Structure 1
């Protein structure tokens, strides 16, 4: 079956609930929407990057190429960090589960995922050192190793949106239990 016809088959399928149709199994997707905290921080960082680029332009206009290059490099670093911040989270596909942090990415094939469940435990608030009692999505690999709980009800995607955390956790659990 061609790629186009499989898209048509997905979009023509009757919808039994109000969720979006399942994406193609070979495509990585985030099964939840970005949270307002993550988007706000990234937007502020991108705004800072625009000011840094203006500073680089002013330095270049003043014939200070060293200063201009410094501000430009700093702006590029801020832009790259903002984009990485927006990529953080849990991604799923027919291939497996991908957990993306700021400095790391772990991909686990579904056959290596033993359990996906939520648990009450101390969680970090917005990734900061302060912890509170909350819910975390725990992913256990074959051999008993657990991935870091990036998905919590107090992270940048779900702080103040407990219902959205529950929906995201349920969606990831559904992907994990789907037969392959």
Structure 2
């Protein structure tokens, strides 16, 4: 079961991610493997570990990597007739269509000192209470960086599903 702010829904088999994950996810997983291998090496060297200590550190960090890689592969936005499921790295969130007032794009910029870096669009869900929820769908992210038409199609699919659900109420 996954908890939303006000409801609990049983996650069924009818949740569909309306896009194929980008190949950039594998680069992130490989990067994390290298980073954890370096952390393992540094830990062994720092604490002069031998034998069982080396195996414990290696197994612990390998387990962290496996769990993290699995979550990275599951990241994304899933839709169904019930609503939207947003799977993040650490938590998941379900929002029913009737809780969503609108779906919109927001232009994102990041500041780095005196410079502003254009980061593209992200999809936001507007709740009926005025709160906005980030969907983690980012135009320049690992899933859509080289596929802007896929990003637009996913955005339109979520908007269409929301409109359909709103007209049925």
The offset of 1:146, in angstroms, is 0.5
Secondary structure of 1:148's counterpart equals: strand
> Which of 155, 162, 167 matches 1:176?
162
Q: Work out the CA distance in 1 between the residues paired with 2:82 and 2:140.
A: 28
State the 1:103 CA deviation: 2.0
| Contact residue 123 and residue 135 of structure 1 kept, 8 A | no
Paired residues of 1:153 and 1:165 also in contact (CA < 8 A) = yes
| Equivalent pairs, count | 140
- 1:105 maps to which residue? 92
With normalisation by structure 1, the TM-score equals: 0.67
Partner Cα distance (2:120, 2:56) in 1: 45
- In structure 2, what is the equivalent of residue 32 of structure 1? 19
Structure 2 residues not aligned, in runs of 5+: 1-11, 42-49, 111-115
Question: Residue 123 and residue 148 in structure 1: after superposition, are their counterparts in 2 closer, same or farther (change >3 A)?
Answer: farther
Following the alignment from structure 2 to structure 1, what is the Cα–Cα distance between the partners of residues 13 and 59? 37
Cα distance between partner residues in 1 of 2:126 and 2:69: 29
1:79 aligns with 2:66: yes
Match of 1:8 in 2: none
**1:156 and 2:156 correspond:** no
Q: Deviation above 6 Å: which 4+ runs of structure 1?
A: none
Deviations 1:122-180 (A, max 9, x none): 256xxxxx841422211111201100241121111111221111111111112212235
* TM-score normalized with structure 2 length: 0.71
| Mapped partners of 2:13, 2:62: distance in 1 | 34
Measured on the aligned residues, the alpha-carbon RMSD in Å equals 2.7
Matches within 5 A, 1:5-154: 27-45=14-32, 64-119=51-106, 121-123=107-109, 131-154=117-140
Higher strand share goes to which structure? Answer: 2
